[in-house]
Amino acid sequence: MDLVSATFTKVWEYLVKGGEIQNMKAFLYKTASNLVIDEYRKKGAQSLDALIEEGYEPRAGSGHEAGILAEVGELKRGLARLPEQFREVVALRYVDEFSPQEIAELKGESPNTISVRINRGVAMLRKEMHI
| Domain ranges across the chain | 1-58, 63-131
Instruction: Give the pLDDT confidence of 28-51 residue by residue, as tens digits.
Output: 888 888 787 777 667 665 565 666
Using a CB cutoff of 8 Å and minimum separation of 24, what contacts does 12-18 make?
A: none
Q: Which one-letter DSSP state was computed for residue 109?
A: S
Q: Which long-range contacts (CB under 8 A, 24 or more apart) does 107-114 make?
A: 114/89
Residues 73-83 have pLDDT tens digits of 777 888 888 99
The answer to whether residues 81 and 127 touch, using CB atoms and an 8 Å cutoff, is no
For the segment 62-81, the average pLDDT, to the nearest whole number, is 72
CA–CA gap between residue 126 and residue 58 (Å, rounded) = 29
* Cα of 124 vs its chain's centroid, Å: 18
Could you read off the pLDDT of 98-114 as tens digits, one per residue? 899 999 988 899 999 99
Q: Mind giving me the DSSP string for 14-79?
A: HHHTT---S-HHHHHHHHHHHHHHHHHHHH----HHHHHHTT-------HHHHHHHHHHHHHHHHH
Q: Which fold has domain 63-131?
A: Arc Repressor Mutant, subunit A (1.10.10)
